[in-house]
Amino acid sequence: MKKAFILLFLLALLVGNFACEDALELNDPNNIGSNIALSTDKNVKTTLVGAYNDLSNGAFYGGNTLRNSELLAANSEVVFSGTFNDVADIYRKTMITANTDVTNLWLTAYSAINIANNVLSALTVVNDADRNQVEGEALFIRGLSYFELILFYGQPYSAGNATTNAGVPILLEEDRNSTAPVPRATVQEVYDQIISDLTAAAGKLSPGPVPGKATQEAADAILSRVYLQMGNFAAARDAADRVITSGNYSLRPTVASVFNGASTSEDIFDIPVSTVDGVNNMNTFYASAANGGRGDIEILPAHLALYEPLDERLNLFYIDAGTGDTRSGKFSNRFASVKVVRLAEMYLTRAECNVRLATNVGDSPLNDINLIRNRSGLTDLGSVDLAAVLLERRLELAHEGLRLHDMKRLQQTVVEGALAFPYTDAKLVFPIPQREINVNASLVQNSGYGN
């Protein structure tokens, strides 16, 4: 009797559950609609965090974007000896359209852009006091993401005609599972959009420093890079000068003290990494096994020979006890923040532009260059020309992700042994990922990749 009562009770519960199913309509917490995700101030700000997460992804500023610039422009100064085939193909300039690293940068950058667009579409629910900051951060992330995309997937601004050369698709509206094909905009159109986003961001963001977050100075610093890539030296100089004269950042006493730790007074924008969050793929690929890395990238004598004997930046290089190879000591701590842009670059940009324009905005090129040299234990130069400025830039920012883009804007040739790759060479441009070509008939593949 007791068993029969229990069975009847369980049956009643089961029937009751089925009867109530329509009334409950339980939602999968991992499949919340955009009307909920973007309905409140808190939710919009939480959504924005997702865009920062994309920036910090290993495929993006978690390291691979910086590494790939250096490998494509290795110029017989570094060698990749690792076992990752897709990375090796980037180094050898033998990429295919299915290259995983090439695909992941595209996907991650457009994910960040899409999240930024969604945030921008929901600004009306953001608290008035925070609305400018939220909008500025979203614009910064979108402009920064488009800049990296055009640097890798488009011909350099200085190559041919920017108004006709193919860039990347521009998406400015929230894309909630839209499948509408979008063609590639021109290089000029993409740069115009980047400048629009970053200029607007600089006018809305609060000043820094704020580790890992967009600030007014971060927007200006990236703007200086954009203008430098375009050959607009006056605008690049002025943007760099705004960062320097803000007074919110300062050079560290030594170059070594900039790296292998948390954010510093010199970091204008960086990617924080901790034991519980973030990734530092620069450590993974550049550091020895003893320092937490794979030891995949070796620094060659041709690079070391560029430094003066007393240059303290030479002390950052070390011999890998396990292999005997030379490694860069900028990336010896896997939990250190990844440097995206720092103050030293702003001094170098201002100096270069002032030399080119025969101006002294902010300070003289000689003073700016000697400031960087003194920090590295070198004596003052008595005079400075463009070649001296460019060499100082090359040494100070070595292996930090700018080499390919500098070589392209300077119209230099990448030399790898007997092979030479002019700055317009198709092999120095990423292919449009094959999966994107397959689903978007409006996309035209880059030259040299089966078209």
| pLDDT tens by residue, 344-365 | 999 999 999 999 999 999 999 9
Instruction: At 420, list the tokens.
Output: 């030479």
Count CB neighbours of 69 within 10 A.
23
Instruction: At 228, list the tokens.
Output: 């430098």
How does residue 50 score in pLDDT terms, banded at 50, 70 and 90?
very high
Domain 35-439 belongs to what architecture? Alpha Horseshoe (1.25)
User: H-helix or E-strand containing 338?
Assistant: strand 338-342
Count CB neighbours of 135 within 10 A.
21
User: H-helix or E-strand containing 355?
Assistant: helix 343-357
The pLDDT value recorded for residue 29 is: 37
Instruction: At 354, list the tokens.
Output: 């002032």
The structure tokens 């920064």 sit at: 144
CA pair distance 141, 222, nearest whole angstrom:
11
Q: Are 221 and 341 in contact (CB under 8 A)?
A: yes
pTM (2 d.p.):
0.91
| pLDDT tens by residue, 288-299 | 999 999 999 999
Count CB neighbours of 189 within 10 A.
16
Percent of the chain with pLDDT over 70: 91
Asked if pLDDT for residue 193 goes beyond 50, the answer is yes
Q: Give me the helices (H) in 25-63, please.
A: 34-37, 41-55
Q: Are 269 and 341 in contact (CB under 8 A)?
A: yes
Instruction: At 8, list the tokens.
Output: 């009847």
Strands 267-271 and 317-319: unpaired
